[in-house]
């Protein structure tokens, strides 16, 4: 069965970077685009961007350009998202989600990122 296993919670300091991972299993990794989504209590769900694991091609929500960088490692079927220049506003739960045409059929369990000094 399809599974997306995300890395554990992170407590990071303002101004630093963090790299989250999402390991896919149960399907051919390069067959579906992977997305990243941010969830906060105040802003709800926000789409960050998408990556084509086969080509490495990416597309970002304008709001997250320069903040998020999406990459993949095909050899381990893992997608990554690096968040840079972190501020408290980046504190959130981040999900990876597999694209099915225009919706998301599979979601990871989420990674909580807390930005605090």
Partner 1 sequence: EIVLTQSPTTMTASPGEKVTITCRASSSVSYMHWYQQKPGASPKPWIYETSKLASGVPDRFSGSGSGTSYSLTINNMEAEDAATYYCQQWNYPSLTFGSGTKLEIK
Whichever of 27 and 107 has its CB closer to partner 1, that residue is 107
Residue of the chain from 21, 47, 52, 84 that contacts partner 1 (CB under 8 A):
47
67-96: contacts with partner 1 (CB under 8 A): 95
Instruction: Report the nearest approach of partner 1 to the CB of residue 86 (Å).
Output: 23
Query: Is 22 within 8 Å of 41 (Cβ atoms)?
Result: no
Instruction: Report the nearest approach of partner 1 to the CB of residue 105 (Å).
Output: 5
**DSSP structure string for the chain:** --EEEEPPPEEE-TT--EEEEEEEESS-GGGS-EEEEEEETTTEEEEEEEE-TTT--EEE-GGGBTTEEEEEEGGGTEEEEEE-S--GGG-EEEEEEEEETTEEEEE---EEEEE--
Instruction: Report the nearest approach of partner 1 to the CB of residue 50 (Å).
Output: 8
Q: Does position 11 bind partner 1 by CB under 8 A? A: no
Q: Does position 100 bind partner 1 by CB under 8 A? A: yes
Q: Does position 8 bind partner 1 by CB under 8 A? A: no
Which residues lie near partner 1 (CB under 8 A)? 44-47, 59, 61, 95, 100-105, 107-110
């Amino acid at each position: 069965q399809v599974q997306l296993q995300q890395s554990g919670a992170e407590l990071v300091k303002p101004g630093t970077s963090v790299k989250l991972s999402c390991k896919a299993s149960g399907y051919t990794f390069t067959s579906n685009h992977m997305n990243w989504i941010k969830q906060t209590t105040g802003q709800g769900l926000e789409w960050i961007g998408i990556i084509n694991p086969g080509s490495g091609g990416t597309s970002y929500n304008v709001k997250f350009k320069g903040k998020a960088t999406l990459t993949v490692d095909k050899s381990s079927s893992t997608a990554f998202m690096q968040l840079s220049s972190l501020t408290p506003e980046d504190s959130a739960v981040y999900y990876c989600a597999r694209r099915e045409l225009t919706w998301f059929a599979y979601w990871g369990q989420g990674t909580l990122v807390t930005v605090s000094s």
